[in-house]
Amino acid sequence: MNNQMTRSRLLALLLLCLLASFAMAQVQTEDQPSDDPVIEQRLAKLSHELRCLQCQNQTLADSPSDLAADLRREIRAQMKAGKSDQEIIAFLTQRYGQFILYRPRVTPLTYLLWFGPFVLLLAGLLVLFRYIKQRRDQITEQPLTAEDRRRAEEMLASSRKETA
């Protein structure tokens, strides 16, 4: 009996939460797939290249946010109007900046981003080569002096004696 009461209370609470969420709702815009498979295919490809502005580590394709849905709708509409992918990307970067591109363009501003890792790699290789060369120079063979040879033979002789 008691259990049932808590359950019904929980249910009421849940309903209340739902109601509150309705009160806060935005105007939903339909994010319906287009009936043209070509457009859907293009959208799928393009939206994986674009960043969702609200949840910045998701692509426009994966994001459940309302803005992402709006932008997908906008992209569909523009594709239907015959715009090319390039034109649509230009439309979006004009409004949201380069940030919307998951793959930043190669411009002087992004040279460091694109080429920095390779510069670091080269610098690392250079340091490595210099280090190896320096070490090799240090360990070049030195010919034995007469004294060294005498001592070495002495040691060899003594070890032979021990094993015998």
Partner 1 sequence: MLKYLIPLAIFLVLVVFLAIGLTRNPQELPSALIDKPAPTFRLPQLKQPDKTFSAEDMRGKVWMLNVWASWCVACRDEHPFLFEYQKSGAVPIYGLNYKDRPEDALGWLSELGDPYLLSAVDLDGRVAIDYGVYGAPESYIIDKSGTIRMKHVGPVMPEVWEKKILPLVQELNRQ
Compute the least distance from the CB of residue 146 to partner 1, in Å: 38
Report the distance separating Cα 106 and Cα 109, nearest Å. Answer: 8
CA atoms within 13 A on the CB side of 13: 6
When asked if residue 89 is in the footprint of partner 1 (CB under 8 A), the reply is no
Residues 6+ apart with CB under 8 A from 28: 66
Using CB under 8 A as the binding rule, whether residue 29 contacts partner 1 is answered as: yes
Beta-bridge mates of residue 59: 51
> Applying CB under 8 A, does 59 fall inside the site for partner 1?
no
The answer to whether residue 101 forms part of the interface with partner 1 (CB under 8 A) is no
Q: Is residue 78 close enough to count as binding partner 1 by CB under 8 A?
A: no
Q: Does 31 bind partner 1 (CB under 8 A)?
A: no
Asked whether position 38 contacts partner 1 by CB under 8 A, the answer is no
Q: Establish if 85 lies at the interface with partner 1 (CB under 8 A).
A: no
Nearest distance in Å: CB 97, partner 1: 4
Are 99 and 51 contacting, i.e. CB atoms less than 8 angstroms apart?
A: yes
Residue 126 and residue 52: Cα distance in Å, rounded?
40
Is residue 138 within 8 Å of residue 130, measured between CB atoms?
no
Residues within the interface to partner 1 (CB under 8 A): 23-27, 29, 53-54, 56, 66-67, 70-71, 74, 93-99
